[in-house]
Structures are given as C-alpha cells and as structure tokens.
Homo-oligomer: A and B are copies of this chain.
C-alpha cells in the first residue's frame, strides 16, 4: 500500500515489503525451502501472500531455474480417430501427477507445420516431447525433436534409440484366437484388412501362432482380406460363410469389420453365437457393446499407453531408468456375447 502502488499483478517484491522481509525470505518460504526460518516469520509471509492474492510468475521462475515443468505433445491428427482421447487423457493424467503441464500441438500430418511446431515447443523450453500417432505406425522423427528427451506413442521409428509404446497386436490376436479355440472352435477364419500397417501383419501373426500352439493347421483359405470398414468385413465374411465347409468362428481385424461380418451372418440366417462366433478388435465404445449380440473384442490400451509414454518421458527427463525402450502394451479381452461353442454339426 505504501510505496509500490502500481498496475499489474502483485509481485514477490510486494509480498516481501508487506511482510516486512526480503524477497529471499519470501522465496524460501513459498518454495518450502525455509529450513531455519521461524514459524512466526513464515506465517507472516504466507499471510501477506494470501492477502495480496499473490501468484508466482512461473515464467520468471523458469527462466531463472532453466526448467519449465512443461512437456510437449505432438500428434499427427487428433480428431479423426475415436482413440485419441484416451491417449491424451492418459498422458495428461500422468503429467499432472508429476506436476507438469502439457503443451499440445497437432500437425495434421503437415511436415512444415511440424517443423514450426517443434520450434515453438522447444523455444518454450519444453523438457521433453511425446510424439503421438493416432494409429500404430512407423514414423520418421524430425531431428529437432531429438534435442530433448522424446518418446513415441502408438508409433515406432526406424531409429531404435527412441523409446516407444505400441499395443501388443500380436499378443492380442493370439488371445482372441485362443479364446475362440478354447470354446471348441477348430475352423477359425481371419478377416484381415488390406492395408499393410503393423497392426494388420502382427494380428495375422498372432492368429497363426495361436493356431499352431493348439495344433490346428493354418489354412490360407480361411484368411480373407477386405477394407477395414464395415463393408469390407461384410464382403470378406460373405466370401467365407457361403462356402460349404464354412468356419465356425471368425477373428476380425477390427470391430467395424466384425459388424460387417455380423451383417453377413444375419443375411445368411446364421445366428450369433449359435452358428457363428465373432471376435473383434478395438473395443469401440460406441459400437462393440451395441451390436446384436454385443461383441466380444480386444481392447486397445490407449489410456495406459498415454500414461506409459509420459512416465517414461519423465524418467528420462529426470535422468532415471533408461532400461525399457520399446513397450508393447497388452490388449485385454473384453468378453461380451458373440462367442459360444461351435454348432454341433457344421
């Protein structure tokens, strides 16, 4: 009130003079570094700060300490996929728990934007960067991103030095197929998608391995490709189901294809799961529970991957735990009602 009547928010200096102490003392108290300061002084500082509505300017502190408590989150596309939310949420929650804030940016896949965005992030002194793709893929990381600790989320890089986390597609497919087998199925088809993304190849592998592990011969005729949407699933399933010696169970590349398969089955008057069992992948929250019957499927661990990515990043920022580089996150089975024992007569 006395000397420093001025515009703008209260500064530490104001608190100091209000409490009748120096800035050093205020800083010490407010940052819990007040080792030997009497409780009485401490309280006076706290009171003054509260009375003046003091809020430290983090920018100034960060400039001085050369930290920022901020991490960058770069993603290629965020909206076009329903999965994005959970990943971001996981990342946020983990960051928050570590007292960091997240600066988000999305590049829409444009390399020019990407370069610019990285610069903006780095200029703001982010302590690390999470580089997220919105579906499991191989990406090339701009050199600039490597200036700070970096982890890849739902993506991998040819540069194996960059830590990454992706879903365990192979394991998920293995479990999906095994689930069908455990119900007694022996003729199990795989509806794969045509695109050559890691998910496609690895899910096919998992399918094969599960078959092998159970001494069921792999039959190339039982895997048929289609586009990864409902229409593709419909067509692929149709091709398989009209055959005389049709499969009794279908493992589908994703839930959309599974929904297509269900449609094909209905048209052929095959009941699910009595005549045909179905397992999907993705566990789309808006479709899997609502197919008829509700779809048994594999859950993509997006939230967990988001958490892992920033926890790992923070470990690296803190200089700890450089052990695990490439994490494959387990995809849990979500049992609903589309799987049963195979029909007694095929």
Contact = CB atoms under 8 A, between A and B. Distances in A.
Contacts of A86: 79
Contacts of A123: 55-58
Interface residues of A, number: 56
A18 B149 CA distance: 29
A125 B78 CA distance: 26
Contacts of A108: 93
A290 to B, nearest CB: 5
Given A56-B123, A62-B59, A101-B124, A79 B89 contact: yes
Give the number of times this chain occurs in the complex, counting copies: 2
A35 to B, nearest CB: 24
Contacts of A122: 55
Interface string A47-61: 000000001111110
A218 interface: no
Interface string A223-239: 00000001000000000
Contact of A88 (B62, B79, B286): B79
Interface of A: 8, 55-60, 62-63, 66, 68, 70, 73, 77-82, 84-86, 88-90, 92-93, 96, 101-106, 108, 113, 117, 119-125, 230, 256, 259, 263, 284-287, 289-290, 292, 303
Given A59-B63, A78-B85, 12 more contacts: A59-B62, A59-B125, A63-B63, A73-B104, A84-B85, A88-B88, A92-B104, A93-B108, A101-B105, A101-B120, A101-B124, A259-B290
